[in-house]
Amino acid sequence: EWPDFCGLLKTLGNAELSANDWHWQIGLLRKWYQPQLERIYDSIETREADLEQLESIASRYATRERFLTELTLDPPSAAGDRAGDPLLDEDYLVLSTVHSAKGQEWDSVFVLNFSDGNFPSEFATGKPEAIEEERRLVYVAMTRAKRSLHLVAPLRYHVTQQRRDGDKHVFGARSRFMTDSLMATMQQRWFGRPDNAQPKLQPRTDKHIDVAGKLRQMW
């Protein structure tokens, strides 16, 4: 191995080689290092792939100096190992459309924007058969829950940048699928600050701040 290493250094140090003709040197180094990988490490597939990727990246640089500079300033933070089994946290969130939820089940299900215009969609309210299809979709959404079902409906929708005299809001309409008899079987909860709640004011202070003086101190 030592004679091979000395021969490698002699080849790489040949002064007659052009400074721009250096890309083949990376491949030469990688081939020499291959037996060392097999000797030092048990599993070499990932390291082999990293070296091959490094050789490909080096081919994009015109000079050795530029390549080494970029590699020094922005080195890789981890090896490019092969993907394995996904690691899932104990608590994780699955986002799904109603159509994609068919055949699925979860312990807890939150159906968002459960108001008229979304359930049923405003684009499906013109025909009775379209409304019935929306009703079937609602059934699919509500039956995906094993333990708890939450239908989240906004009380207001804020409409911004669509009026000459400023923004506005409209009340959210209860879904026509939520009949009084169905509402009686559910627990209703409201979130957020009550409409009649007054914002808490900070106590008045007699402390004065010399703004002009502070500005003068800056220059």
Ranges of each domain in the chain: 2-73, 106-183
In this structure, which long-range contacts are made by residues 51-54, counting pairs with CB atoms below 8 Å and at least 24 apart in sequence? 53/80, 54/26
CB burial class (10 A; 0-12, 13-18, 19+) of residue 130? middle
Q: Rounded distance, CA 102 to CA 140, Å? A: 7
Q: Rounded distance, CA 123 to CA 133, Å? A: 12
Q: Rounded distance, CA 212 to CA 26, Å? A: 64
The CATH number given to 106-183 is: 3.30.160.800
Q: Coil, strand or helix: which one is 151?
A: strand
Q: What does the block give as tokens for 90?
A: 């104990």
How confident is the model over 21-48, as pLDDT tens digits? 778 888 888 888 888 888 888 778 888 8
Confidence of residue 90 (pLDDT cuts 50, 70, 90): low
What does DSSP say about strands 106-111 and 145-151: parallel, antiparallel, or unpaired?
A: parallel
- Residues facing residue 110 across a β-bridge: 150
Share of the chain above pLDDT 70, in %: 80
How confident is the model over 199-208, as pLDDT tens digits? 666 666 667 7
How confident is the model over 181-205, as pLDDT tens digits? 989 999 988 876 655 556 666 666 6
Looking at residue 204, its pLDDT comes to 67
Q: Which residue has the tokens 């800056």?
A: 218
Confidence of residue 81 (pLDDT cuts 50, 70, 90): low
* Higher pLDDT, residue 15 or 142: 142
What does DSSP say about strands 168-171 and 156-159: parallel, antiparallel, or unpaired?
A: antiparallel
Looking at residue 143, its pLDDT comes to 95
Q: What does the block give as tokens for 21?
A: 């003709």
